Amino acid sequence: MKSISARQTGIILFLTILANKILLLPSIMYEKTKADSLFVMFLFFAVELFVLWIFFALKDKFGNKSLKDVLQNLIGKSFAKFLLFVFLIFFLFKTMLTYSVIYVYLKDLVYQDEFGFLALICFLPVVNQGVICGLRAMSRSFELFFYLVLAGIIFCLSIAFFTNVSFPYFFVSNPSQIFNTWFTYIFSFGDYLVLFIFMDKIHIKKGEKKKILSFVFLGIAIVLSIFLIFYCKYHDTAFMHNNALADLLVFSVQFNAVGRLDIIAMVTIMALGLFQMEIFQFAFCESFVMVFPKLSIKYAVAVFDVLFFIVYFVLIGKYELMIQLTTEYLPYFAVISNYILPILIFALSFKHKKEVKDAKTI
């Protein structure tokens, strides 16, 4: 079976860490906890790193076994399929949220009009092709464009310093507000769940966990930097700017004969959006194939496209409703998928270890 390296795994995590956090999230979080949203982000990343530690522990224990095989050994086929179905639903809505945020950014700053059908026929075929080509081909593409995307992000952060920036006020929110904000936007996280879905396709040599962690901490540092610089630039008007990374270039988009610089932010955001949608859709399709093993990845892609169209364009319909869904209803679901299930699998793995020892004793 074709596997991906620790470096490619780290790049995938880098991309998922940035998903749904560098455009809308700084703005809507500011409405609740002001600049103390940075502390909420620290809390998020601390909990998420615990989930990553759980993955490493499971990977060490079960080696190259798939999540399906691990769950079947621990809890049986029926309950294993139920848990995989939970992950399937999570990645379906995760892809929709990513698409929604990117689409609204392009609509407001590029097309300045509705172009939903055009966006659909532009995004989905590209994402579908990436998923069908497989994880290894996708990972090589991410590896090829990684430094270009990173350069685009760093450029946007650097240009922001050509405008007036000053530190905002911190410690203006109480612990209750911080916790409520953490819960409200929990669906934007779950960054490491993709690792559980294709854990059998990840090849980590001895000592290479540090390589993965280097990309993880780079992604965390970039997200925190965007939050900090964004709040330093806009202060009390931060809630009015819904595209944080792109809005860092506002008031500094023209330099003499250089022309408009916000095109760099646009290209960077579009590339990130496509890569992130590929990762989340691939996780959906892998979960689908594990739940329905008689169907191939191509059937999974077709099912995803149909569900995406029906749920997003027919049932949800509006961007505002999608944001309301992910901040009012899906947080309860995200607590289960993001944290309870990984902890449950980790706890059950001790039972598996005990059974092995008992068998050897007998």
For the chain, the domains span: 6-361
Residues with Cβ within 8 Å of 221's Cβ and at least 6 positions away in sequence, in order, are: none
Q: What value does the mean pLDDT take over residues 12-34?
A: 93
Asked whether residue 259 carries a pLDDT value surpassing 60, the answer given is no
Q: What value does the mean pLDDT take over residues 328-349?
A: 93
Asked whether residue 146 carries a pLDDT value surpassing 60, the answer given is yes
Q: What value does the mean pLDDT take over residues 66-88?
A: 91
How would residue 257 be classed by pLDDT, with cut points 50, 70 and 90?
A: very low
**What is the structure's pLDDT at 159?**
83
Asked whether residue 356 carries a pLDDT value surpassing 60, the answer given is no
Asked whether residue 39 carries a pLDDT value surpassing 80, the answer given is yes
Q: Are 265 and 241 in contact (CB under 8 A)?
A: no
**What is the structure's pLDDT at 253?**
46
Q: pLDDT by residue (tens digit) across 312-322?
A: 877 776 778 88
**What is the structure's pLDDT at 111?**
67
Q: pLDDT by residue (tens digit) across 181-197?
A: 999 999 999 999 999 99
Superfamily of segment(s) 6-361: Amino acid/polyamine transporter I (1.20.1740.10)
**CA-to-CA distance for 129 and 117, rounded, in angstroms?**
19
Residue 347 gets the label, from left (phi > 0), alpha (psi -120 to 50) or beta, of alpha
How would residue 353 be classed by pLDDT, with cut points 50, 70 and 90?
A: low
Beta-ladder partners of 202 = 4
Q: Are 286 and 68 in contact (CB under 8 A)?
A: no
Asked whether residue 12 carries a pLDDT value surpassing 90, the answer given is yes
DSSP letter, residue 295? S
Q: Which residue has the tokens 């364009």?
A: 313
Tokens of 3: 């596997």
Asked whether residue 63 carries a pLDDT value surpassing 60, the answer given is yes
Asked whether residue 113 carries a pLDDT value surpassing 70, the answer given is no
Q: What value does the mean pLDDT take over residues 163-185?
A: 89
Asked whether residue 359 carries a pLDDT value surpassing 80, the answer given is no
**What is the structure's pLDDT at 3?**
86
Of 309, 246, 320, 307, give the one whose Cα is nearest residue 116: 309
Tokens of 37: 């949203």
Asked whether residue 357 carries a pLDDT value surpassing 50, the answer given is no
Q: Are 177 and 33 in contact (CB under 8 A)?
A: yes
State the amino acid at position 283 in one-letter form: A
**What is the structure's pLDDT at 313?**
77
Residue 163 gets the label, from left (phi > 0), alpha (psi -120 to 50) or beta, of beta
Asked whether residue 277 carries a pLDDT value surpassing 60, the answer given is yes
More confident residue, 110 or 268: 268
Residues with Cβ within 8 Å of 361's Cβ and at least 6 positions away in sequence, in order, are: none
Residues with Cβ within 8 Å of 211's Cβ and at least 6 positions away in sequence, in order, are: 6, 7, 10
**CA-to-CA distance for 49 and 251, rounded, in angstroms?**
36
Mean pLDDT of the chain, nearest integer: 87
